[in-house]
């Protein structure tokens, strides 16, 4: 399952690198959201065009197929940084201190190894499509941009995993209770307190207005 997480910060080089890279990840995530919005707009225009004028958008299916890669992969590193991915934490949630960080370090290293293999395979897939001039069936839309976004986004994920390996390794060496630049699982009390604080802040802002 996925549990609520928080990211601690300080003035260390690790935390500065984490925050700087997070800006780039946030931009990619925003770009993915914009593409989803444009796809919704395209679907609406296609439906209205077919209904009102019997004139659907040419190559609609091709554009949807190509956009799927951008939607699925641009936010993957952002999600990893925020700890928003789905995982089973029944065992990990019972660990504390150095044991927890070593476990997280091992799992992150395994994930990095798998990600590097996926980068290699997806890049070969992109290069094959680019060199052969592969295109969609309807309007002959080139497929290589959508296939290129996969190794690109996975490379961004790999850099995020390297930062988290740095963070978990540092936490394990120092036996830190509150390491920076890594997602920390929050308990139910902390989540409730943050939600109450958020609601209280919204209420105070409305009263001031």
pLDDT of residue 108: 95
Domain extents in the chain? 5-185
Please name the residues in contact with 139: beta carbons below 8 A apart, sequence gap of 6 or more.
Answer: 58, 59, 62
pLDDT of residue 205: 47
What DSSP letter does each residue of 105-156 carry, written as one string?
HHHHHHHHHHHHHHHHHHHHHHHHHHHHT-B-TTT--BSHHHHHHHHHHHHH
**pLDDT tens string 39-73:** 999 999 999 998 888 888 888 999 999 999 999 99
- In angstroms, the CA 37 to CA 31 distance is 10
Question: Given the structure tokens 């928003």, which residue do they identify?
Answer: 84
**pLDDT tens string 110-134:** 999 999 999 999 999 999 999 999 9
């Amino acid at each position: 399952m996925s549990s609520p997480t928080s990211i601690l910060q300080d003035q260390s080089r690790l935390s500065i690198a984490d925050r700087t890279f997070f800006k780039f990840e946030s931009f990619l995530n925003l770009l993915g959201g914009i593409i989803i919005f444009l796809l919704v707009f395209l679907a609406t225009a296609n439906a209205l065009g077919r209904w009102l004028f019997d004139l659907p958008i040419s190559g609609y299916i091709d554009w949807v197929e190509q956009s799927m890669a951008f939607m699925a992969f641009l936010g993957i590193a952002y999600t990893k940084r925020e700890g928003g991915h789905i995982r089973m934490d029944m065992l990990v949630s019972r660990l504390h201190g150095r044991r927890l960080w070593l476990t997280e370090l091992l799992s992150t290293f395994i994930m990095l190894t798998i990600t590097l293999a996926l980068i290699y395979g997806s890049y070969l897939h992109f290069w094959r499509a680019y060199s052969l001039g592969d295109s969609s069936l309807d309007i002959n839309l080139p497929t290589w941009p959508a296939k290129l976004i996969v190794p690109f986004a996975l490379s961004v994920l790999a850099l995020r995993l390297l930062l988290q390996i740095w963070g978990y390794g540092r936490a394990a060496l120092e036996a830190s209770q509150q390491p920076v630049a890594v997602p920390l699982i929050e308990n139910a009390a902390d989540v409730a307190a943050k939600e109450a604080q958020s609601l209280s802040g919204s209420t105070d802002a409305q009263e001031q207005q």
